[in-house]
Structure 1
Amino acid sequence: MIGYKKSLSEWQCLSEVKMGRGSPIPPMLRRKIVEQYQKGVSQRKIAKSLKLSSSTVHNIIQRFRESGTISVRKGQGRKTILDARDLRALRRHCITYRNATVMEITTWAQEYFQKTLSVNTIHRAIRRCRLKLYRSKKKPYLNMIQKRRRFLWAKAHLKWTVAKWKTVLWSDESKFEVLFGKLGCHVIRTKEDKDNPSCYQCSVQKPASLMVWGCMSACGMGSLHIWKGTINAERYIQVLEQHMLPSRCRLFQGRPCIFQHDNARLHTASITTSWLRRRRIRVLKWPACSPDLSPIENIWRIIKRKMRQRRPKTVEQLEACIRQEWDNIPIPKLE
């Protein structure tokens, strides 16, 4: 007898397994066949109880008689069209050309391997290479000079303490759109629901939107301003006077602080820099194309996630929702 024990419920589950044509019989099911055979059960009854063909049961028992094992013979079954060497070449190609489509990879593979290959075959082969197709993350383009400046900026501020970073007043602008049906490109449906209106992704040519300015620090949230009309340096200075200065006084209460904004043109305009010098406002030097370094980007991300959940239908509703979520940001999250 083969030393293998299974509970009755597990054997019942095995007997209900439906094997595809040409699929190998699982080892547990092979052991069950041999055990039944050693108990004197006929091959016909074994096949009927396990819902297998008589020829399958006979072949497994014959294999056990001849070799004393229940394992599948090596080389049994259909060979893969791509061997291990081919898969290594495929993996190198996929890593070299990461943005290639499966169709492009299939065309290359047919020419390189001189074999007839389908898209599904290549797709399965890519998975066998432990690779998977993902949607690329978006990030700002950085040239070598910008990368160097980001590195030097990070190195210069490496020894800043938490208390030092808490003296920074962070500011930024962000654009919010009325989302309509723009929640993503995926929908869960059946094949027959392709023309169901609830499965459509609605889109408009120019969605209604709002440009928002805000500031924050570890002490709390500052003012939020909704831009109306054209944005230029003169209007930006008005926002600084009407919203940034009061926020600085309220959050820091006369303590020294550092103002941060990025290198947008209206921020670096001569009249803007002159106004900041006259007001004796210390400005944090900022490397270009570095939104990921500013914590206020996390605030915008939180609010936009809330907008996707609340789904405002009009610009008025969008503005009200933005202001409400801005005021609801807790101080522990800012710290």
Structure 2
Amino acid sequence: MEHWKKVMWYDESCFQLHHADGRVRIWQNQYKSMHPTCMSTILQAGGGSVMVWGMFFWLDLGSLIHVEQRLNSTTYLSIIANQVQPIMLMVYPKGDGFFQQDNAPCHSAYIVQEWFQEHEGDFTLLRWPPQSPDLNAIEHLWDEVKRAFRQLVPQQLNLTELDSPIHQAWCQIPRITFQHLVESMPRRIAAVLKAKGGPTKY
């Protein structure tokens, strides 16, 4: 646990303006098939979404950043240099912190890996297996944030007004929630090993 308490977890997530994407299945009586509550309206403007970047560690939530454009290697490197490094140096001044990222293409780009090598004394990049969402604790944190977000967003909200409820949902996550996620890491690893890399309950 002392190791996992020194990990900074990172991920990006997409928040939809309207939450019903694709097909939604409901139970209904036959005579209610045309009832308004059993139907979904068409969005002429296509709805839309907002991409945000966030991180957390044992003691606190980190920054939540609205990503204006597609998260490519250049954008990601800017976030790492301007957001991650200062926080890592502040939280782990001895350079004994670990930074977790998955294997998305922008994470493994040459310019990003080269930057990490140049700053390897500031913190350690945690080695991470590919396609392993059940090991990434922040995936479950996003679930909590999105549940809180859905309770805050009125139906009449437009895309430009999403930032405030997203940040509000992020900030109201209690510390015990993300500490429980960190505490689950030994169990997650044991489950993945037992499943020999297959799916787990996480």
When normalised by structure 1's length, the TM-score is 0.47
Query: What is the RMSD of the two structures over their aligned residues, measured on CA atoms?
Result: 2.4
Specify which of 68, 76, 101 is matched with residue 236 of structure 1: 76
Query: 1:256: which partner in 2?
Result: 96
When normalised by structure 2's length, the TM-score is 0.76
1:36-71 Cα deviation digits (max 9, x unpaired): xxxxxxxxxxxxxxxxxxxxxxxxxxxxxxxxxxxx
Check the 8 A contact 2:73/2:107 in 1, yes or no.
yes
Query: 1:333: which partner in 2?
Result: 177
Query: 1:305: which partner in 2?
Result: 147
Specify which of 262, 266, 269 is matched with residue 109 of structure 2: 269
1:295 counterpart = 2:134? no
1:284 counterpart = 2:126? yes
Check the 8 A contact 2:5/2:57 in 1, yes or no.
yes
Query: 2:17: which partner in 1?
Result: 178
Q: CA deviation at 1:196?
A: 2.5
Greater C-alpha radius of gyration: 1
What amino acid does structure 2 have at the position aligned with 1:221? L
Q: Secondary structure at the match of 1:329?
A: coil
Superposed counterparts of 1:1-335, under 5 Å: 162-179=1-18, 185-187=24-26, 190-204=29-43, 206-254=46-94, 256-280=96-120, 281-312=123-154, 313-335=157-179
Q: Which structure is higher in RCO with an 8 Å CA cutoff and minimum separation 6?
A: 2
Q: How many residues are paired up?
A: 174
1:199-258 Cα deviation digits (max 9, x unpaired): 212354843011111111112111111110232211111111222123223433545101
Pair 1:293–1:180, CA change in 2 (3 A):
closer
Identity, % of aligned pairs? 30
Check the 8 A contact 1:262/1:286 in 2, yes or no.
yes
What amino acid does structure 2 have at the position aligned with 1:330? P
5+ unaligned residues in a row in structure 1: which ranges? Answer: 1-161
Pair 1:213–1:292, CA change in 2 (3 A):
same
Q: Distance in 2 between matches of 1:168 and 1:210?
A: 26
Q: Distance in 2 between matches of 1:333 and 1:255?
A: 26
Q: Secondary structure at the match of 2:162?
A: helix
Bigger share in strand: 2
What amino acid does structure 1 have at the position aligned with 2:5? K
Query: 1:18: which partner in 2?
Result: none
Pair 1:255–1:219, CA change in 2 (3 A):
farther
Q: Distance in 1 between matches of 2:41 and 2:142?
A: 24
Check the 8 A contact 2:56/2:62 in 1, yes or no.
yes
5+ unaligned residues in a row in structure 2: which ranges? Answer: 180-202
